[in-house]
Amino acid sequence: MVAGAAVSLRLTEGPRAGDDAPSGESRPDAPPGRAGAGASADDFQLRTWAAVNELPSYDPEPAAAVADAERFDLLTALRPTYAGEVGAMRAANPDLQLLVYMNGSYATRVQEFTYPEDWYARDASGLKVRSQRFGAFLMDPSHPGWVADRARTCANFIAESGYGGCFVDDLGAGSLFASVVTGQPINPATGSEWTTAEWLEATAGIAAAVKREVGPAPVIGNGLGDGGRYFSSEAPTSRLLDILDGGIAEGWLRQGMAPLDDQPSEGEWLENVDLLVDADRNDKTVLTLTKTWGEGTLEQKQRWYDFTLASFLLGAGEDAHFAFSFDPASPPTGVTHPTDLDLGAPRGVYTRRDGVYQRDFTRGRVLVNPSPLPGAVDLARRVGDPQGRSRERASRAPMGARLRPPPRPARPGAGDPRPPPSPQRPPPAIGTAHRGRPPDG
């Protein structure tokens, strides 16, 4: 159960003269360079994004659109969502990446007869294949007509919306899952069901056509899935990053509708962390999206948020973006992410010591225990915990504690206007103003 997912983010006093990066047990089977790719010479910044397109009814007022731009580094949205507000949003955040949504593999449910009949994917009975959830029509990703249509459509959407690039949804082989579509599509080139590798390569062709059409505008595709699919020996979705400017891992750590007490194995969890560091090593942008859309309590979902954020911090490089969705009916921009982590710069690779995965920063440490066994960690030096007590060793429960930022030590001459925390009133656990918080209502 994630109720037990042991996670801690602990701020320390930072390195002292002569301090070395902590040594530890790196993942023994990690490819060379993989675990250390996330290191950066600059202070780590938590970059966040929101899949605004997932709530088509979202129609923000001008002030809300500007607030979205100020709070997020990247937004994906439908053409009408921010119509007329793009200039104000860019003025508020000149670094904002605003990408227009386009589906790469499906025609909408009202487009059953919009395209030539041979563009549609069909099952062994000759029936058009549809999305079980949305009723959209799956298309043949290898058909030259459909491929060219997607490239033109992306260019038109960018011009109409005024956004800066394109987000291409439903790449990769997710559309072959029996739970996603009404039937298994037949590859017209073979007369047999599409294999995962064939479908991935065909959707990669769509990605390449779109990129050729609109480059140098950024194109990001949804199709990485999770760590297991990214590193698959049969059809690695990392292939999409050879073509695109970045990719979305929508199933990062868990599937959205999975029961909240389903926990990835340690190996599965580690593949997801390594997805981040591998993409960073190759200078590619990765957007993670983790959903807790299954039934459960807010406390369960909050624990998932803590576990997900800490896991992200273990492997994220400077071009990784974090997103979390508590509920499908809530505005994606309504989640409040922590803005005051102040970890400093990464001091090296993530390591595994005493059964706990750790990554040290110049002003903090991230600890995650994804296993069902408890672990304990020796801190680099005596620091205050959230209750103001002095500790040299932090216990990490099996599968589930909280992410708590302890008091930030005063730095002489830093001019920090905040008063030191009162022993009678410790700082809040991440989950109020300091923590990922679900949207109101």
Q: Return the structure tokens found at 64.
A: 């809300």
Residue 377: per-residue pLDDT: 53
pLDDT per residue of the chain (441 residues) written in tens, 0 to 9: 443 344 445 443 333 323 333 333 434 333 333 333 443 457 999 999 999 999 999 999 999 999 999 999 999 999 999 999 999 999 999 999 999 999 999 999 999 999 999 999 999 999 999 999 999 999 999 999 999 999 999 999 999 999 999 999 999 999 999 999 999 999 999 999 999 999 999 999 999 999 999 999 999 999 999 999 999 999 999 999 999 999 999 999 999 999 999 999 999 999 999 999 999 999 999 999 999 999 999 999 999 999 999 999 999 999 999 999 999 988 899 999 998 888 999 988 899 988 899 999 999 999 999 987 665 555 444 333 334 444 444 444 444 333 434 323 233 333 332 223 322 222 222 222 223 444 433
Q: How many CB atoms lie within 10 A of CB 114?
A: 12
Residue 372: per-residue pLDDT: 74
**Contact residues for 356 (Cβ-Cβ < 8 A; gap 6+):** 6, 367, 368, 369, 375, 376, 377, 396
DSSP 287-308: EEEEE--SS--HHHHHHHHHHH
CA 209 to chain CA mean position, Å: 25
3-state secondary structure 393-417: EEEECCCECCCCCCCCCCCCCCCCC
Q: In this structure, are strands 47-51 and 6-11 parallel, antiparallel, or unpaired?
A: unpaired
Give the CB-side neighbour count of residue 387, counting CA atoms within 13 A: 2
Residue 127: per-residue pLDDT: 98
Quick one: residue 47, left, alpha or beta (phi over 0 = left, psi -120 to 50 = alpha)?
Answer: beta
For residue 359, the cross-strand partners are 366
**Contact residues for 238 (Cβ-Cβ < 8 A; gap 6+):** 224, 230, 231, 278, 279
Rounded (10°) angle between helices 298-315 and 266-281: 50
Q: Return the structure tokens found at 236.
A: 């690695």
What is the distance in angstroms between the CA of the first residue and the CA of the last residue of the chain?
Answer: 27
| C-alpha pair distances (Å), 159 with each of 147, 153, 218, 380 | 19, 10, 14, 53
Please answer whether residues 188 and 124 qualify as being in contact, where contact means their C-beta atoms are separated by less than 8 angstroms.
no
Please answer whether residues 341 and 9 qualify as being in contact, where contact means their C-beta atoms are separated by less than 8 angstroms.
yes
